Amino acid sequence: CAEYGERFGVLVGVQNHGDFINTGPEHLSLLRRVDHPCCGAIVDTGKYLPADPYADIALLVPHAVGWQIKETMGSDLKSPRADYRRLMKIILDGGYRGFVPIETLAMGRKDYDPAGEVVRVLAGMREGIAAAGKTMATRKASQNALEAFAPALPELLGGSADVLLNLRGSSELCLDVVE
């Protein structure tokens, strides 16, 4: 798959999903066996199952091509809540630069509010970034975002301190950046 993807400029991401990849060493072993620059890790923070999942996450940061940031470290309500200060420090200190998506799960909650959960996780991630001392000027971050989105989104509207996406038929979504 990685060789095929390379022909089209596509990175193939292999995700730890708690099935045949349960630990960072297992994830890294698979990537080393593939041994291709277009194959990397999608790191699911809720699916490394050893006693210290943060160590496994740190092991994979240099190989990460994508993320799934969860609210718990085991993808269930009995798992400890994610420590976003620790998590963001690991990601930033490891040199990862790219998107860090949030994935929330109902985990059996009858009162599950996905939008509210995303807001809580994002607040924790922002606190973690601030605590790590890693910031980017708002205008520079906005410029980077505009340059990344513009080719694919002709409807894109932008400003100097925020990015406003107004996609056909959708409500507006404002993405503000770390200051």
- Sheet with 12-15, strands from edge to edge, namely 12-15, 39-44, 64-68
38-47, 65-74, 140-149: range with lowest mean pLDDT: 140-149
Averaged pLDDT for residues 101-115: 91
CB of 56 within 8 A of CB of 48? yes
pLDDT for 139 equals 60
Q: What is the pLDDT of residues 1-49, one digit of tens each?
A: 899 989 998 999 999 988 889 999 999 999 999 999 999 999 999 999 9
pLDDT for 18 equals 84
Q: What percent of the chain has pLDDT over 90?
A: 59
* Mean pLDDT, all residues of the chain: 82
